A and B are shown apart, each in its own frame.
Chain A
Amino acid sequence: MNIQEKIAQLVPGMTVAEQGEAVITVPADSFRKLAEALRYDKDEPMDYLRDIVGMDWGEDGLGALYYLESSKTYTRIILKTLTADRENAFLPSVSDLWKTAEIKEREAYDFFGIRFLNHPDMRRIFLREDWKGYPMRKDYDMSSNPLNMENEENADTTDEYYLNPDGTIADQKNIVFDEKDFVINIGPQHPSTHGVLRMRASLDGETICKIDPICGYIHRGVEKISESLTYPQTLAMTDRLDYLSAHQNRHALCMCIEKAAGIEISERAQYIRTIMDELQRIDSHLLFYSCVVMDMGGLTPFFYGFREREMILDIMEETTGGRLIQNYNMIGGVQADIQPDFQRKVKEFIKHMRSVIKDYHDIFTGNVIARTRMEGVGVLTKEQVISLGATGGTGRASGWSNDVRKHHPYGVYDKVDFKEILYTEGDCFARYMIRMDEIMESCNILEQLIDNIPEGEYRVKTKPIIKLPEGNFSASVESSRGEFCVMIESHGDKTPYRLHYRSTGLPLVHSMDTACRGNKIADLIAIGATLDYVVPDIDR
């Protein structure tokens, strides 16, 4: 039975969008029932909530798009639900079905003012607690929040809204941290939070009882800015999200726009994009190695990772002109053709990488201290990672096969033969080994592609102003640290009505609490490092 028919049976009032991707609109009052049914479906449980995208449809009201995927069949569906009441917008929470909704619903609340009923922790997540209004709403007054120089006090209580039996909505206070808790503040200025992330951790001696991440210290409002930019202009932002997945992020956005506008890109551009994605992945994983080692106090191997990463950056610089922010993918292809000795240098690098990887393992992987620090620490089970939406290496370390390259191939990944690296332990060591093995697997992919780049145009000509047809469009790639997805809602203009990026890091930061409880402070750093989040990607 088709999934849409199944939903139609459950919710007779549902409608399916005709343009763009099939968005299934469900009335808010039957949404919760449908979500439960889909989540616990026997044959095809929609147990992976990819993202919740808050939306402001003006007259129609506020609502959200729920991107769901089944971890069994990899079928993807999009649900849409909305409420017409703009002043008191309430939607049912799904945070008990998918744990990742806990943080995604907070994001929707923060930007759109949609309150989720029965969500245990309705606090703002990115913005200050004393922020006025909800900035992603279309009617938001830009002058309502002048620069505030006061210190922000974080409340130790939070709100939970629930529905009384008589239909009225009540509010109850939940406690985040008790008065007696010994709360230590880690970040935003801290060497091991990998950016300006802040975590409040309550401790019992050295043991962690709870972690409350506070994001938003470098939130730049990329999604809001993008709403006033033309499609080619929006490209500039993607490299600055997760700067260690710059190519992949931009690849996703280009793919999404090309798909929506019906632009066919050449085979050559596909190859170049894929090669660049893999180089970027090696780059990111080498930095991951350096950071993990550094965070565990081993300062010497740190330089090993950087030594090899430098070679990749040099290769990239020659072709793209950039080292960290490359701005290489364009709508219709890539910005410039590859340099004449690009192929030779990549092959040299692969050879070199294979010869030095033993050093990496000798100095750190086999070290008894490293082993005891990582093995069995911060275990996430398969059910947990799926529920948390922790994609990428973190998910694969727990045995969740979630590689977008395998299950929803893009670029030329369907033409190469590669393994999806899977571990089952779910501890820090498995997460670490995943990345180390992926470096070698990426080398294999590169080797298969590098000599077979077909001749042809590296870029097809596109119109300077691109208008997308009405509808919802999305494209996802396997970025260096998980599934990165671009969701566009177009109303037929040259600018997106709403452009949302699925942050790879947000679910990972959210996983910190689950993974760290009961471990030591030193483990928090190790777990944070092996989860491998990048903060500018969390604070978009």
Chain B
Amino acid sequence: MNHSPSRIEITPATAFSKPLRHWKLIPLTLLLQTTLLVDSQESGVRFIQSYCVSCHQPPRPKGKLDFSTVTSEKQIVSRALDWDQYVARVRQGEMPPDDEDVDQPSHDERQTFVRWIESTLREAACENGIRPGPAITRRLNRSEYSASVRHLLDIHFDAGEALPDDGAGGEGFDNAAETLFLSPIHAEKYLEASQTAVEYGFADTRSNRRFLTAQPSDTLSPQAAADDILESFLPRAFRRPVSPEEHQAYREVFDSVYHKEPSFALALKTTLSAVLVSPKFLFIIEEPNPHPHPIPVSPHELATRLAYFLWGAPPDDELQQVATEGRLHESETLRRQMLRMLEDPHARKVRSFAQNFIEQWVGTRVLGREFRPDPSIKGYDSELEGGMKYEPVFFFHEILQENRSLLDLIQADYTYVNRRLARHYGIQGTFREQPKRVEITDQPHRGGLLGMAAILAISSHPHRTSPVLRGKWILDTLLGDPPPPPPPDVPGLEAEATGRAPTSLRERLEVHRQHPTCANCHDRIDPLGFSLENYDVLGRWRTTDQGHPIDPQASLPDGTSFSGPEALKRLLLDRKEPFLKHLTKKMLGYALSRGLTHEDYCAVDEIVTELGHNGFRSHALLWGVINSVPFRYKAGSNPETGVTLNTAETIRHD
């Protein structure tokens, strides 16, 4: 136990036994599969013939989908987007439908088929180099809006507080372009917020220094002062150079107000408020690419992508300056900027990145919101909630800022606790309400995400633990292999209210697992969760539950037996590929602020390879994302053209 990251590291040459580009042939969760994948066109086509064609064939194919003529991978590749949808339905168990007269594939047949389609699509997508996505158009989400207003006016005031909250899309983050909708309420809220923020900025002397760069005087006319202010304000607000016409348009707002009422302050406030309600400020907008082939995004577009990725905030003056000089696409410059941004002396911006990413990835944002423990669970209070909530945030912040191994997420010998959480874990020392770093080499049950109270809580029911939910959390969140939802009309797997039942939860779950339909998935899910049963709802260590001794033994379908969280972590570290790959996908999705496509997965594969060569360091991941084709390029009108690595290299060193 107590692996320190350096001891776990494996040298690049032996890190992966197979070339990574063949990963797609390995089931994502090899450790949890009953059979190895035998992938072939033949068995895939047979699957379609056996399970799909009986409904989807002429003369009246269901859903107007005729699969009777599908005999080759080529046909599937030629309609890749459609097949994405079809295969999702098979993966999630919706197809074939649960009707009496429809044959059902076995679990293994289903898995094999799904992986065949997915790898076929992936392979085809990567053939012509990596294809980037189109130019981005999206509005800022609520926290980005607040950070952007703060950047412009230097106010300590959450301008976005009254905005409606945003949902998530794509890879599960609230910066996803596809789910940043605009309702009628938005304009109203933006107007109100902008006026409040500008008033606030005018009233604050520190804030004045940021944006009131000139004042009318005997030698400076109000109009000239307004010009001076707009000259620095507009490019910062729109995150790019501003044309003389654009400048003039805002100058006219100033003039019109000033003409009616000669008050410099009033005219300027109105003008600056208009800037903050303009879609040029509220939206990240990239110029569409007029060419058929992909081109690099413009330097200012790259700066904007970079800043909202690493800071959740707009580019600062230095980053804009580098972009203006046209140097940002130089590999060395870009990398230096990345490192500078991660240093972030005030830590606030990188911490907000850490928080936005980790809380949405691992799901701890629900703590205190959708998830609150039942009052019957003793010991929960707001200071503990705070400690629990911030432990993964501060922990991940350190990983990012200190370039630590990403495998620390699975096992580490340090964490962050506040006074209340330290007591909760039984850690000795002096702590305050603010989380503090602590070495936990003497804490066998802590270290890594799986030992964190927040994660153990949100993967429980409010009133008791659930091996099923925890197992599902590991498969879905850590390994990116979500089990399908339970089919309708199966007996419930878990009974409520453990304490009132005559047998232990484990015994009852085992009875249910004898049901063959359930066993398919629960044989994979439950063992993972059982190994964490020593943690109660709030993640406290326990050896009994309602009088029943805890039995953390688990055995996987492939026969691997293990017991307890330490063994689980070792297992995950031994077979780390699915974890790293999934984390990379999440990070790329967050950076691109959209859902990933097969084309993006080609980039994911490359980044993961690089990770193996760099000791799984966090900066290798961030750099891999930032330097990737999808991050640095935008698609042209011909979506079939990709960027091969050589082209990318060339442009990188232009």
Q: Do A and B bind each other?
A: no
Residues of A within 8 A of B (CB): none
Residues of B within 8 A of A (CB): none
